[in-house]
Amino acid sequence: MPRCFVVSTVGIGIFLNSLEPAERPEWHGRLMELSNTKDLSSNQDAFAKVQELQERALTRLIDGDAATRRRFSPELNGLYGLYDNRLSSDADIHCLISTDTAIGRDSAQILQQYLDSQGLKTGVFIPEGLNTATVGGLSEI
């Protein structure tokens, strides 16, 4: 495969998929509500939960197999599809585009850490003010 510049948009699926079944009733909706929040530091409960989920997500990525990672992360599902279930193209450059939100930045960081650990060249781009709160906000970027 020729050298490629691969762009992946990053959502919060990795956090939602990190929730245990018992946590889903409370936290799925809360994470969705918080998905456009720029800073979670004033919400200690949510901040602590996001940190917990971050650690859980990275552990699952490192310990899981390709099929598990594909189910766990929409972004990795796309990359594993591109690379025929092997993340081995160290010649390519990967750009993760994230929303300018607390959970968006954290999602991109998890993915970048994992992809870097696999030997891929990865960078994160966060356009200032990018969020999904309004369609108009996307067109202003």
Domain boundaries, the chain: 5-139
- State the virtual CA torsion across 78, 82, 87, 91 in degrees, nearest 10: -120
Q: Does the pLDDT at position 52 exceed 70?
A: yes
The confidence band for 4, taking pLDDT boundaries of 50, 70 and 90, is confident
pTM of the predicted protein model:
0.89
Q: Does the pLDDT at position 47 exceed 80?
A: yes
Q: Does the pLDDT at position 110 exceed 90?
A: yes
Contact criterion met (CB below 8 Å) for 38 and 26: no
- State the virtual CA torsion across 38, 59, 68, 112 in degrees, nearest 10: 50
Distance CA 66, CA 62 (A): 10
Give percent of the chain above pLDDT 90.
77
Distance CA 44, CA 16 (A): 19
